[in-house]
Chains A and B, each alone.
Chain A
Amino acid sequence: NAGVTQTPKFRILKIGQSMTLQCTQDMNHNYMYWYRQDPGMGLKLIYYSVGAGITDKGEVPNGYNVSRSTTEDFPLRLELAAPSQTSVYFCASSYSGGANTDTQYFGPGTRLTVL
């Protein structure tokens, strides 16, 4: 199993450009998440999905969009990049069976700089 993979690893955008951060998991997890992490800070949840076709906002959704057409993929879209979106983006997945566990598995991250 590759686990959670993210592409690209690094990206530099100009203000106003758009891009899609890709995330794929091969663990057949129903839940997927997008977080951002600013320097020296903890992770903040952007969006999450509890299954294909279902997404919901997290703590900091403004400026981002997501879609979940398959169980495996959960892309994050930035439409009009702004310097405030300079951050490291982590994708995660979990099998939340509704019981007592929601162990999240994280990808290696995408480091995004907006100039």
Chain B
Amino acid sequence: DAKTTQPPSMDCAEGRAANLPCNHSTISGNEYVYWYRQIHSQGPQYIIHGLKNNETNEMASLIITEDRKSSTLILPHATLRDTAVYYCIVWNYGQNFVFGPGTRLSVLP
């Protein structure tokens, strides 16, 4: 059974922030939230991960709600090259990554 739920698709205007939501209502205390993306037919690319605190790196920010039942990946200034499928994954050591269908983000000029 899928541990995460994401909208199948979203649009975003170039230069604006893209906010991609993910629901993981059954997440347990030791499970991390990971985000990957897949541009066209390339291999998935790691973006960011977190446990309960908000995280930021050079690619994106990850906002996790206090109850940890949902999270949002934020691309602060989306470009056309950010058009991709974005995967939200819940993971803990000893588990395997489970990639669902993800959210197809289209950045529009």
Contacts and interface: CB of A to CB of B under 8 A. Distances in A.
A100 B97 contact: no
A109 B41 contact: yes
Given A40-B101, A42-B87, A42-B101, A107 B43 contact: yes
B51 A100 contact: yes
Interface residues of B, number: 21
Given A96-B93, A102-B91, A42 B46 contact: no
Interface of A: 4, 33, 35, 40-45, 48, 58-59, 88, 90, 92, 96, 98-109, 111
Interface of B: 32, 34, 36, 41-46, 49, 51, 87, 91, 93, 96-102
Given A42-B98, A102-B97, 17 more contacts: A41-B101, A42-B87, A42-B100, A42-B102, A43-B97, A45-B96, A45-B98, A59-B96, A90-B43, A90-B44, A92-B43, A100-B51, A100-B93, A103-B46, A103-B49, A104-B46, A106-B44
